[in-house]
Amino acid sequence: MSHEQPGREALSRGRRVVVKIGSALLTNDGRGLDDVAIGRWVDQIAALHRRGVEVVLVSSGAVAAGMLRLGWQARPSEVHELQAAAAVGQNGLTQSYELHFARHAILTAQILLTHDDLSNRKRYLNALSALRTLVDMRVVPVVNENDTVVTDEIRFGDNDTLGALVANLLEADALLLLTDQEGLFDADPRHDPSAKLIAEGRADDPRLAAVAGDGGALGRGGMSTKVRAARLAARSGAVTVIASGREPDILTRLMDGETQGTLLRPVQAPLAARKRWLAGQLKVRGTLVLDAGAVKVLRERGSSLLAVGVRRVQGTFRRGDMVACVDEQGALVAKGLANYGADEARRIAGKPSHQIEALLGYVEARSLVHRDNLVVVRAAE
Ligand SMILES: Nc1ncnc2c1ncn2[C@@H]1O[C@H](COP(=O)(O)OP(=O)(O)O)[C@@H](O)[C@H]1O
Ligand SMILES: N[C@@H](CCC(=O)OP(=O)(O)O)C(=O)O
């Protein structure tokens, strides 16, 4: 497949970008919200806005800011305490952005999303139209996870992933991840002073995932979630840059095409919106173990998955749930929405489709997973 790979020129040509600012940076390493730094990022976003670039901001910092306001020294581990800290801190965040954008006569809108908002197709479409409307009205949406209502089971957890999903949603040209390092290094610079900056790479390069480590005490994701976010963003054709938010005018310089930070390029042609939505689903409820023939037709022809190619069914899932399709060695091949629940799937596994009626007493669909609801997964995912 020939597909032009966007590079830094995608930034200077970019009309729509998602900017994500991480916790470590926003709170100046735990010293409360860094209002002066927030003012500088807002000034840059306002400059881009004046040039006609649409910017959506994904801002972390609610929990870290709340901790400081409540006088807590360490990030709590109890969910209800995290929720409380986020509720207190989110107010401070909103206030700070609102005041700084008001200096530029730009309106902001607070959007708090949960995993469910993007995994339920109807809510996903609602979120999309609300965000589009705001962007069209030249309002800058400020997005964060709705930490006060999420539990561990259903959280994005890190805002890198949320930023990538927002970039997918809006089909942004670029995802700019601002953090407290200059970019992705070939080893964690906190532990290895000789680590070198990686200027550029392919979003799906497994070597990058291998060098990306965990985050600091305040944030959650570290570099590994940033590399994963780049891979997610690449699905809609967005380039990702990981760069230092401490570098003066970093956003405007990046959007001028200046070489800063780490640029991660998409290599595949963008997936269609529905497939992207499918691919972005994080919660997998069960697993179908495929035989070699099924693996081959899924990979090479993008065919529907028939029950005859399924060796084993694992987990508990219902019709419409997301399942992982793995080969017999356990390697992920595809993800898709099951046409049958786990019990039915167990009964028809290994059987040709014409026997489904005799086995179950009814036919829900000929395939176990229809190709429209199936996304073949690349090696590193
Ligand atoms: N290979 C790497 N290159 C750069 N930083 C890394 C790497 N591996 C791990 N890190 C760590 O990731 C941290 C940034 O992630 P995180 O603390 O989650 O920040 P943020 O809140 O900005 O998302 C850096 O401070 C750094 O110590
Ligand atoms: N939603 C959380 C952000 C989670 C978080 O810390 O994300 P990240 O900045 O990616 O490490 C908050 O506002 O505190």
Distance 156 CA to ligand 2 centre (A): 9
Distance CA 2, CA 22 (A): 35
Mean pLDDT, all residues of the chain: 90
CB 147 near ligand 2, within 6 Å: yes
- Tell me, what amino acid is at 153? E
Among protein residues, the one whose CA lies closest to atom 23 of ligand 1: 22
Rounded Cα–Cα distance for residues 252 and 44 (Å): 6
Q: Does the pLDDT value for residue 48 go beyond 80?
A: yes
Is the distance from the beta carbon of residue 20 to the nearest atom of ligand 1 less than 6 Å?
A: no
What pTM, to 2 d.p., does this model score? 0.80
Residue 223 CB–ligand 1 contact under 6 Å: yes
Q: What is the pLDDT of residue 274?
A: 75
**Residue 231 near ligand 2, beta carbon < 6 Å:** no
Residue nearest to atom 9 of ligand 2 (CA): 22
Residue burial 62-78, b: 16+ Cβ < 10 Å; e: rest: bbbbbbbeeeeeebbee
What's the average model confidence in pLDDT over 106-135? 89
Does pLDDT of 1 surpass 50?
A: no
Query: Closest Cα to residue 238, out of 131, 310, 330, 166?
Result: 166
Q: What pLDDT score does 280 carry?
A: 76
- Residue 231's pLDDT is what? 93
Q: What is d(CA 255, CA 248) in angstroms, rounded to the nearest whole number?
A: 13
Question: Is the pLDDT higher at 381 or at 47?
Answer: 47
pLDDT in tens, 125-143: 888 889 999 999 999 999 9
Highest mean pLDDT among 59-63, 109-113, 145-149, 359-363: 109-113
Q: Are 34 and 26 in contact (CB under 8 A)?
A: yes
Residues 242-257 have a mean pLDDT of 96
Number of the ligand closest to the Cα of 157: 2
Q: What's the sign of the alpha-carbon dihedral 95, 62, 22, 168?
A: negative
User: Rounded to an integer, what distance in angstroms lies between the CA atom of residue 275 and that of residue 54?
Assistant: 25
Report the CATH number of the 9-276 domain: 3.40.1160.10
**Using a 6 Å cutoff on CB, does residue 63 contact ligand 2?**
yes
- For the chain, strand residue ranges (E) read 16-21, 54-59, 108-113, 140-145, 174-179, 200-202, 239-244, 262-265, 286-290, 310-315, 322-326, 332-337, 374-376
Residue 2 — pLDDT band, cuts 50, 70, 90? Answer: very low
| pLDDT surpassing 80 at residue 44 | yes
Q: Which residue has the higher pLDDT, 120 or 255?
A: 255
The percent of residues in the chain predicted with pLDDT above 90, rounded, is 64
Give domain limits for the chain: 9-276, 284-376
- Compute the half-sphere exposure of residue 247: CA atoms within 13 Å on the CB side of its CA: 19
Q: At what angle do helices 159-170 and 121-136 cross, to 10 degrees?
A: 70
- How far is CA 221 from each of CA 10, 92, 159, rounded to the nearest angstrom? 26, 22, 8
pLDDT at 30: 63
- Given CATH 2.30.130.10, say whether it is the number of domain 284-376: yes
Q: What is the pLDDT of residues 281-314, one digit of tens each?
A: 778 899 999 999 999 999 998 899 999 999 999 9
